[in-house]
Chains A and B, each alone.
Chain A
Amino acid sequence: DIVMTQSHKFMSTSVGDRVSITCKASQDVSTAVAWYQQKPGQSPKLLIYWASTRHTGVPDRFTGSGSGTDYTLTISSVQAEDLALYYCQQHYSTALTFGAGTKLELK
């Protein structure tokens, strides 16, 4: 199975900062990467698919990028409501797999 590695379990930020969350695949996944946001007590919500396509209703401060094995979710100006868990997922292989998650916290 393809392993998705989010090397930062936690990231500290301040409101208004630009922050980038990274994800590395164990093999080339040809931009078949999705990103999800999960707030406490809620189910995950889709933000991005095909590495850079925003899901319906997702604010444009969320941008996805990357190719090959390396992918990034960038929040251009962090808002208080963006403090959450973020997961990447590959949809290149039918054995769908997720990263372990990165928790975005206030400094």
Chain B
Amino acid sequence: EVQLVESGGGLVKPGGSLKLSCAASGFAFSSYDMSWVRQTPEKRLEWVAYISSGGGSTYYPDTVKGRFTISRDNAKNTLYLQMSSLKSEDTAMYYCASQGAMITWFAYWGQGTLVTVSA
């Protein structure tokens, strides 16, 4: 059974940093492209980062480019999201998700970790 378990969320002040982790099990993690997707308090979904299976390719939307960095450790079956210069609009539930094929649909999702950016 595919399992994705996120951790690392919490309350952070504007301008601060946070690193999220996602532990994967039940599938060949190193063979799959992965992404982070967030859901705002208004329930809007927004894709925020993509990484290829080997880690050599990454993509970000303009809203987080230069502030967020996605990475992975295939030996540890773990995905990461380093977030810096956080803004109030980054407040959301953050999900890691496995990609169906390259940068396409999101096949499996974790349960999410909540990030709140507030003074």
Taking beta carbons and an 8 Å cutoff, which residues of A are in contact with B?
Answer: 1, 32, 34, 36, 42-46, 49, 55, 85, 87, 89, 91, 94-98, 100-101
- Distance to closest chain B CB from A50 (angstroms): 8
- Distance to closest chain A CB from B80 (angstroms): 19
- Sample of 10 further A-B pairs with CB below 8 A, known A32-B104, A46-B107: A1-B61, A34-B100, A34-B105, A42-B111, A45-B109, A89-B105, A91-B103, A96-B47, A96-B104, A98-B47
Name A96's contact: one of B103, B107, B109, B111 (CB within 8 Å).
B103
- Distance to closest chain B CB from A48 (angstroms): 9
Q: For the complex, what is the distance from the CA of A100 to the CA of B45, rounded to whole Å?
A: 7
- Distance to closest chain B CB from A42 (angstroms): 8
A97 touches B47 (CB 8 A): yes
Interface majority SS on A: helix, strand, loop or mixed?
loop
Taking beta carbons and an 8 Å cutoff, which residues of B are in contact with A?
Answer: 35, 43-47, 50, 59, 61, 95, 100, 103-112
B45 touches A98 (CB 8 A): yes
Q: For the complex, what is the distance from the CA of A85 to the CA of B44, rounded to whole Å?
A: 11
Q: For the complex, what is the distance from the CA of A44 to the CA of B43, rounded to whole Å?
A: 11
List chain A residues, Cβ under 8 A from B59: 94
